[in-house]
């Protein structure tokens, strides 16, 4: 009985109606959320919540060593384990400014 109650808590089922503009409201708590929409041949529509990553940042999420290094650097900085590296302006070139 307990397992059945937990399953019911996890699964929320509700019938919603598509409006005259073809929209389906997911509720105010979903405002601003983004979803991957998959429509199967039988008409089943699956919405999967997604987080969109800019292409210029995608490499970091695909390179686990680089991501681990960045996360370690952030943790070190938050813990005060860092030192001032000075002014790096000398390393800029014209293409970096903008």
Q: Considering the domain boundaries, does residue 69 fall inside one?
A: yes
pLDDT exceeds 80 at position 11 = no
Structural domain of residue 75, as residue ranges? 32-79
Confidence of residue 28 (pLDDT cuts 50, 70, 90): very high
The answer to whether the CB of 30 falls within 8 A of the CB of 16 is: no
Q: Considering the domain boundaries, does residue 58 fall inside one?
A: yes
The answer to whether the CB of 36 falls within 8 A of the CB of 51 is: no
Q: Considering the domain boundaries, does residue 10 fall inside one?
A: no
Once rounded to an integer, what is the mean pLDDT over residues 15-32?
A: 93
Once rounded to an integer, what is the mean pLDDT over residues 57-75?
A: 95
- What's the total number of domains in the chain? 1
pLDDT exceeds 70 at position 22 = yes
Q: Considering the domain boundaries, does residue 61 fall inside one?
A: yes
Confidence of residue 90 (pLDDT cuts 50, 70, 90): confident
Q: Considering the domain boundaries, does residue 13 fall inside one?
A: no
Q: Considering the domain boundaries, does residue 62 fall inside one?
A: yes
pLDDT at 98: 54
Distance CA 91, CA 98 (A): 15
Confidence of residue 35 (pLDDT cuts 50, 70, 90): very high
pLDDT at 14: 85
Distance CA 4, CA 18 (A): 31
Q: Considering the domain boundaries, does residue 64 fall inside one?
A: yes
Q: Considering the domain boundaries, does residue 22 fall inside one?
A: no
């Amino acid at each position: 009985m307990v397992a059945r109650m937990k399953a019911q808590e996890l699964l929320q089922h509700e019938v919603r109606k598509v409006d005259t503009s073809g929209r389906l409201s997911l509720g105010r708590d979903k405002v601003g959320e983004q979803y991957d929409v998959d429509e199967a041949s039988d008409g089943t529509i699956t919405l999967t919540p997604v987080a969109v990553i800019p292409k210029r940042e995608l490499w970091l999420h695909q390179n686990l060593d680089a991501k681990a290094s960045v996360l370690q650097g952030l943790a070190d900085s938050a813990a005060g384990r860092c030192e001032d590296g000075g002014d790096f302006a000398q390393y800029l070139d014209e293409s970096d400014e903008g």
